[in-house]
């Protein structure tokens, strides 16, 4: 469904209130930087791009996850991030991974 919504946005067939493009770009940036999703950075970037006030709704859950060692403030990177960046950049140059 997210892919279909991104296609609709590209072709001007979607409303401006959709958050999927911001979500998608935040996800791709996190994976490109770290080789994997960094939840805290991903959500921070997403809320700043979409609606920062919505972040307040997630603070209780985020704090519980952090206190239980399930949410990390610093990203954990994988080996081979340089190669993964090259793959994502190539996909973007071919019209994918926007």
Q: Based on the structure, what is the number of domains in the chain?
A: 1
Whether 71 and 41 have beta carbons less than 8 Å apart is answered as: no
Phi and psi dihedrals of 14, rounded to 5? -130, 160
Within-domain flag for 98: no
Within-domain flag for 54: yes
Q: What are the pLDDT tens digits along the chain (98 aa)?
A: 767 777 777 788 777 677 778 888 899 899 999 999 999 999 999 999 988 998 999 999 999 999 999 999 999 999 999 999 999 899 888 876 55
Nearby residues of 96 by Cβ (< 8 Å), 6 or more positions away = none
Within-domain flag for 88: yes
Whether 42 and 30 have beta carbons less than 8 Å apart is answered as: yes
What's residue 42's pLDDT?
94
- 36 is in which domain, residue-wise? 2-93
Within-domain flag for 67: yes
């Amino acid at each position: 469904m997210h892919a279909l919504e991104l296609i609709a946005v590209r072709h001007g067939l979607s409303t401006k209130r959709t958050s999927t493009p911001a979500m998608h770009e935040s996800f791709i940036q996190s994976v490109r930087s770290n080789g994997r999703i960094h939840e805290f950075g991903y959500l921070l970037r997403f809320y700043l791009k979409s609606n920062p006030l919505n972040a307040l709704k997630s603070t209780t859950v985020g704090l519980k996850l952090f206190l239980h060692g399930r949410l990390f403030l610093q990203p954990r990177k994988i080996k081979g991030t340089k190669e993964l960046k090259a793959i994502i950049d190539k996909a973007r140059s071919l019209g994918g991974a926007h």
